[in-house]
Structure 1
Amino acid sequence: MRKKVLLITAVVLLIALIIFFGFVPTFVDKSRNTVVTKNVQVPPDAWYDSLPFVADLHCDELLWKRNLLTKHDYGHVDLPRLQKANIAFQVFTIVSKTPRNQNYDSNSDKTDNITLLSIAQLRPVQTWFNLKTRALAQCRQLYRYAEKSSGEFRVIESSRQLKQLISDRKTNRKLVGGMLGLEGAHCLNNDSKNLDDFYKAGVRYIGLAHFFDNEWAGSAHGMEKYGLTDAGRQLVKKMDSLHIIIDLAHASPKAIADVFAGTSGPLLVSHTGVQGVCNNPRNLSDQQLAELAKRDALVGIGLWETAVCGTDAAATAKSVRYAVDKIGLDKVAIGSDFDGAIEAPFDITGFPLLVSALKKEGFDDTAIEKILGSNTRDFFLRNLPGN
């Protein structure tokens, strides 16, 4: 009888392990990264397909156990879909920690969803409990994709490499460039010296905080929402010295004000909305927009409901219109937050739908080309390290 019980227990445990490691990661990915309209029908648009540089400022694809080089019928981004959508440049952001019961109002740093996800994905053991190691592993993964892409994907670290990408796409429209960013500086493990390791790993912009307050800065979604700490002020100075761009997405209003007061270096907001259209603490106020305009910053308008108070391209276009009217045409771009555990109106192949939505907001072809990519191209040409 005892042997039978042990056998049954072993079989049940084996089945549970198969389900946990074999099915849970994909199930979580499919259930978190959804679209309002699946297999969206995109009318042919020769003008859009002719655009030399279409770009997106923010995507979290590297968090998921999904091969970037293979087309998938779930999630938002992979190389075949980027190519189909005529995307020249995609920023891949590293998510290293998110709180349990994540919300937009108040989150503690005491819990972490990504540990269990990393285990379920069978990531290397050293990434399970060390945020720096976890984040650097995602960085290395992007380079491995580039190595295996048969020359169709490359990682961009400098303005020189970006110029080369622009030149090479004139004869190879399937070529896609990717760049690395960090979503939250908590993965520096409370040591600014680790910034050097992330720079060497290719990271070129860093959001100071994500969904919780950390040792560097307060989050718009944190418990205390404080500004820059003393360590955070030193970190900002070091980021400036390394030509690492500061991303103000998710930062608390106090932290944003402290950055404005403490640096003249380049700034962007990689994925956001505007309070003038969609009023919530996550989005930018008119006062913040005005200061960003003075800094020649770049603002990426998002593709999810909390950012734009809508679930289609028209909602994003409305927020783009508002931002352009406030800060100028040259300072607004698209920062989708694709694969960031959001419901998007469509996956990356639906990007052309933004054209008609922006036209309805009164933008002409020249303006739309800027919003969909030229502004992003020019910002990084100005602000990435030269070599």
Structure 2
Amino acid sequence: MNCYNIEEAYNFYTRLLGFKLSDELPFAKILPPEKKHIAEGPGGTGYFLRYGSDHHSLVIFPKRVRDQMGGSAATPAGITTNQITWQVGSLQEVVDGHTWFKENKQEIIRAGRDMPGSNWHVYLFDSDWHVNELYYGIEQVGWSGQSKPGPMRERGFHVVPELPQKSEQQEVDDAIAAGIDISAGHRSIDAYDETFVVDGVYLQRPFRVTGIGPVRLFTPDVAAMVAYYRDVMGMTVTEEIDYRGHRAVFLRVNAEHHSMAVYDIGLREVLGLREDTTLMSFGMKVASYRQLRDAVDWLKAKGIEFVELPGELFPGIAYAAHIKDPDGHLIQLYFGMEQVGWAGERSAGRAAAITSDPATWPETIEDSGTLFDGEVFMGPWS
């Protein structure tokens, strides 16, 4: 996401939600001399954040700087998503995807390999000019918590790579042979104590983000956006609803009920949400219903603003809470999602549409047999 209040956003996502800093990007160091001034001083740095071992799962960049950079960095009015990123299973898919997108007359922004993060990618626009990234092979941050050092980033690419490429293991071996200190990368150090016992583990807060979830976008043309994410990106429509005369469509990439949802933009005013962004919300998953309840209580005590939204807008998710980041972006906290079976059928224990007001939630809930279906974060939690 591109954020006006970048330093406040950094504190929000790290100190409150528990993301760790993998690397930072001072834009003044990468801009040409005539533009360096726009990124100098406070608020000129972008942050690569992670909840697990992927180098980054969330990136926040300074919107003021990005807009003044021009080109593809300056997103169209009303778009505050820097990019929406989708993982594929191989480098071959990225290269072939690039070819396929071009053959299908999709506008390619760029392709190659980014640093930091080491992920091979292709970037393109959706029908509303949101940037999408298809990628493979992101850098993994291991038990030491250190990202790759700067000298290991010389294999960045700005063109579609020729295949085959050397393996990650060979890149590491080559760096060691060249005398590079592979332990010299950035390591996040948290300056607060682990005081909460969370399911048998001491943590710094009473919950743990264990996954990133659905991206929800407002759009003036639901049909065009559905066509893009279904026909170009290859998603499957799971469900469609009408809420007070406004259309919403939910699309999935695997067994989860949805990874992407698009809503008629007229609903934004109905719900009283931020008027200058098409991002309705971005999902963050915690490990259990108990952790979700504890997260709500803890964040309320920290003075975080909650927004109540009708549960009908989130089929497949039974319990969710919505909080505002310092820019007014909504973060959807949830703990589980309905899974779609091998035959493309909805689960028997379908999540019911309920109010998102946590004050109405029961102390405990009964397992319908599907609460723990789907991908599980294998840990460790800290």
Using the size of structure 2 for normalisation, the TM-score is 0.31
Q: Could you say which structure has the greater relative contact order, defined with CA pairs below 8 angstroms and 6 or more residues apart? A: 1
Whose helix proportion is higher, 1 or 2? 1
Q: Which has the higher strand share?
A: 2
